[in-house]
Amino acid sequence: MRSGARDPRPLAHNPAYCLGLYGFTVRHDGGFTAGPSDQGVVVSGAVSADELERLSSDVSALSASRLRGAPSCDPGHLVPGIAVSVDVLFADQTTVRIVDNLCYLGGRDQALRLRDDLDALRLRYYPRPFP
């Protein structure tokens, strides 16, 4: 799973403190990477077994039939400078964008649960400032 946040206004703040700017990936074995940064820096580690189980459960809860159709989108406006996405790489090597800002595949509630659990891990493990 990969999560990221992008700010199209990089001069508006110090990019080293932008949580998720360079991406945050959790692999099926529990290993994670943050980055690479523009300088090629990658930070690696591992989530706990309980955290990995929660993410696995979130992915399993996604509705397979809703992964192939059009996304459902919440009404509203994006905050300027903020973009949120969650991609899942399935066993068949298919990558599906489960969350794309206010739009969701696999069922809204299930996608939001995955996003929220991944965000909690990003808060815990993503280095600030980014090296």
Residues 62-82 have pLDDT tens digits of: 988 788 889 999 999 888 778
Answer for the pair 83, 5: CB distance below 8 angstroms, yes or no: yes
Q: What pLDDT is recorded for position 91? A: 87
Assigned domain for 130 exists: no
Assigned domain for 131 exists: no
Percent of the chain with pLDDT over 90: 65
Structural domain tally of the chain?
1
pTM for this prediction: 0.87
Domain boundaries, position 27 = 2-125
Assigned domain for 111 exists: yes
Assigned domain for 69 exists: yes
Is the alpha carbon torsion for 11, 14, 19, 21 positive or negative? positive
